[in-house]
Amino acid sequence: MINGIQDVYVNVADMQRAIAFYTDLLGCSVLYQDEHWCSLDAHGLKIGLHWTGGDAVPAVPFDEHGPHAGATITFRSDDVATDKAMLQNQGVEIVGEIDESFGHLVIFRDPDGNFLKLMRQKY
C-alpha cells in the first residue's frame, strides 16, 4: 500500500559541497549519510542528495518558469527579499523572481545547477 512520499532527491557532483550548501545556507539537517547518499530534514520534508560519482549533473532545459524535467524543491520563506539577499551575498546564482497573486518566489541554483525556489505564499 502506498502511504506517503519517502523523499525527493537531487543529483550532486560534490557531496560535501552540497551538504554544506543545504545545511549552512538553507537550514536543513543531516539525517543519514554514506558515500553515495545523504538524507536531509528540510524543515519537515525529507530530501536526498545523490552523489553522481563526480560526474557533472546533466543540465535540463528551462525558462522563466523553471526546469522542464525533474523536480524542483521549494523552500518556504517569511521574507523572500531578505533570504534572496543572503543567498546572493553567499554567491548563489539567482535565475528568476516571480511576484504574483499566489506568492512571491525566487528561483536559484544549488552548486550543481539544480533549480530550487524560495516562496512566500500569499493565500
Integer Cα distance of 53 and 14 in angstroms: 8
pLDDT by residue (tens digit) across 10-68?
889 899 999 999 999 999 999 999 888 999 999 999 999 988 877 666 666 666 655 55
Measured between alpha carbons, how far is 113 from 80 in angstroms, rounded to an integer?
20
The pTM (predicted TM-score) of the whole model is 0.74
- Triad 73, 46, 23: Cα angle to 5°: 75
Give residue 110's pLDDT. Answer: 92
Catalogue the E-assigned strands of the chain: 8-12, 29-33, 37-42, 45-51, 62-63, 66-67, 73-76, 94-99, 103-109, 115-121
For the chain, domains (ranges, CATH) are: 8-53+71-121 (3.10.180.10)
Tell me the pLDDT tens digit for each residue of 53-89.
776 666 666 666 555 556 678 899 999 999 999 999 9
